[in-house]
Amino acid sequence: MLGVAILVVFATIGAAGATQNYLWRIPISYPGSNPRAVLIDELSLDYPDPSFRSNVTYSLTGSGYTIDSVGPSPSAVEFFRQLPSKNYDLIIVRAHTGSSQSIITTQPYSKSEYLPDQLTGRLVAAQVGNGPLYFALTPSFVRQAMTGRFPSSTIILMGCAALEGTHDLASAFLDKGASLFAGWNGPVTVVHMDASTSTLVSQIAAGQSLELVASTEMTPDPIYGARLDYLDWNGLVNSRINNLLPAITVGSLLAVMLVFGPLTIFVAPKLSNMFENHRSLFKQRKLPKTERVSCEAGRTA
């Protein structure tokens, strides 16, 4: 019983640690008369596209969305920090993404600002080409520094390779309450990115699901071949469970060895003694019965 209890404790602690408490969550929703959307256009600093902004605004407002538009800002970090608490249903981020799964803002980098975030790796310095340094938001910033939780929002990150490799950035947004994350699985040209996202938003505004549009209507980038992909909460959980099963198997074997190995050393001699005692008692009980039968047989003869 002691061994089983210890094994259960080890399994529970191991499962909680391996999943990082992100296999479950309680969805958060906020009642509202109209859905709300925001277009965060950090790229307009170097790659302005007024037609993209007008097309997205026209599609969403025509479907009843209330849309906010946010351009480059020297306080972009604080805006992103408060983003979950603004209760947007649809969030479109037009920004560069770094090679380390980060969102590059237009706020100039400074070594003396946001020291706790920099020391913990939530904010890093990033550079586009030979340009100046800007603050970039890492997945840790999304998980740990953003205020509140997304109300099952849909996130569209338009930068390059947002869904390439480990999907850390997408996972961070989903862990923060978003229901779906869309992004490119490799490098993409600005022209194709804007045209594809404009089509995607118009289809979403018309009532199509993002998953269906992304899987059937989005063409790959003609130069780099990247495709618009998506990750939802269910897909993330299934992926984590598949990755968790080998860890649980190995952990269970180690726990069995650690728990039942020492117990076997102490219990095996006692079990052997108990067996010998029972065997001796059995012989002692059986022998008188045999002698009595033999005596009775002698008297009869």
Q: What is the mean pLDDT of residues 59-73?
A: 95
Residue 276 has pLDDT above 80, yes or no: no
Dist CA 228 CA 221 (whole Å): 9
Counted domains in the chain: 1
Is the residue at 268 inside a domain?
no
Is the residue at 78 inside a domain?
yes
Is the residue at 251 inside a domain?
no
Dist CA 17 CA 292 (whole Å): 68
Q: What is the mean pLDDT of residues 255-260?
A: 64
Task: Give pLDDT, residue 258.
Answer: 65
Is the residue at 211 inside a domain?
yes
Enumerate residues 6+ apart whose C-beta is below 8 A from 147.
81, 82, 84, 85
pLDDT digits (tens, 9 = 90+) for 19-47: 554 555 555 555 557 899 999 999 999 99
Judged by average pLDDT, the poorest of 61-75, 169-183, 241-255 is: 241-255
What's 56's domain CATH number? 3.40.50
Task: Give pLDDT, residue 162.
Answer: 92
Task: Give pLDDT, residue 294.
Answer: 43
Is the residue at 271 inside a domain?
no
The boundaries of the domain holding residue 88 are: 29-242
Query: What would the two tokens of residue 290 be?
Result: 């045999």
The residue with tokens 């799964």 is: 101
Is the residue at 16 inside a domain?
no
Q: What is the mean pLDDT of residues 72-90?
A: 96
% of the chain beyond a pLDDT of 70: 74
User: In whole numbers, what is the pLDDT of the chain averaged over residues?
Assistant: 83
Task: Give pLDDT, residue 233.
Answer: 86
Task: Give pLDDT, residue 273.
Answer: 75
Is the residue at 297 inside a domain?
no
Dist CA 9 CA 152 (whole Å): 33
Dist CA 8 CA 10 (whole Å): 5
Task: Give pLDDT, residue 300.
Answer: 42
Is the residue at 228 inside a domain?
yes
pLDDT band at 256 (very low <50, low <70, confident <90, very high): low
Q: What is the full DSSP assignment across 246-270?
A: HHHHHHHHHHHHHHHHHHHHHHHHH
pLDDT band at 275 (very low <50, low <70, confident <90, very high): confident
Query: What would the two tokens of residue 81 be?
Result: 């920090």
Task: Give pLDDT, residue 39.
Answer: 97
Dist CA 271 CA 129 (whole Å): 73
Q: What is the mean pLDDT of residues 168-187?
A: 94
